[in-house]
Amino acid sequence: MEISASIIKELRERTGAGFMECKEALKEANGDIEKAVEILRKKGALKAEKKAKREAREGLIGAYIHAGGKIGVLVEVNCETDFVARTDEFQQLVKDIAMQIAAMSPEYVSREDVPPEVIEKEKEIYREEALRSGKPERVVEKIVEGKLEKFFEEKCLLEQPFIKDESKKVKDIVTEVIAKLGENIKVARFVRYQVGVK
């Protein structure tokens, strides 16, 4: 199948992937651009996993003030080099993450940051709720796991649906930028201030 230069260009603009990667993905997808995007995203995720082991000591601290000065966010996002920290893509990512924190008020960066005692307390609450509502014992654990996933999605920044595209999670957006820039990127920490809320 012949892949036109214009469709390769469109895929490159959408994904930031290299020319040959786009051409191969389009061949694999029989010219279907949506399937090609999915193929590149999966490959990007694989690249991101390999890069996750590399140390990220550079980066930026982003700030975002919202709602007439009523909400403020500081977030530290790390990458491997100062060069990448100065790119438009990285700076946009930091800005988007700061806006996400302002809008969605997460408490943790990732599910790994949630203390085990908090997880156990949540599980206990969900288990008691399910048993009180008369659910059979065999389905209670599935209900608890489902509610725990919802808890992570609400409280953990990387698990939250991305405010600019709810079909993706924040971690997917980070993975896409890792694939595009070729460096490990990590959200290190954040703080969110809201007037009148401690």
Residues 35/11, Cβ–Cβ less than 8 Å:
no
For 151-161, write each residue's pLDDT tens digit. 999 999 999 99
- Per the listing, tokens 């982003």 go with 62
Single-letter residue type at 159: E
Q: What is the mean pLDDT of residues 119-133?
A: 90
Average pLDDT of the chain?
Answer: 88
With vertex at residue 156, the alpha carbon angle to CA 126 and CA 94, rounded to the nearest 5 degrees, is 170
Confidence of residue 112 (pLDDT cuts 50, 70, 90): very high
* Range name among 134-138, 176-180, 183-187 with the lowest pLDDT average: 134-138
Confidence (pLDDT) at 54? 65
Confidence of residue 5 (pLDDT cuts 50, 70, 90): confident
Q: What is the mean pLDDT of residues 116-125?
A: 93
Q: Which residue would you say has higher pLDDT here, 171 or 11?
A: 171
Task: Indicate if the pLDDT at residue 122 is higher than 80.
Answer: yes
Structure tokens at 180: 């595009």
Distances in Å between the Cα of 12 and the Cα atoms of 9, 71, 112 are 5, 36, 33
Task: Indicate if the pLDDT at residue 84 is higher than 80.
Answer: yes
Confidence of residue 70 (pLDDT cuts 50, 70, 90): very high
Q: What is the mean pLDDT of residues 175-192?
A: 91
Confidence (pLDDT) at 113? 95
Q: Which domains does the chain have, with CATH numbers?
A: 5-51 (1.10.8.10), 58-110+156-194 (3.30.479.20), 115-154 (1.10.286.20)
Q: Which residue would you say has higher pLDDT here, 106 or 28?
A: 106
* Range name among 42-46, 177-181, 182-186 with the lowest pLDDT average: 42-46
Task: Indicate if the pLDDT at residue 179 is higher than 90.
Answer: no
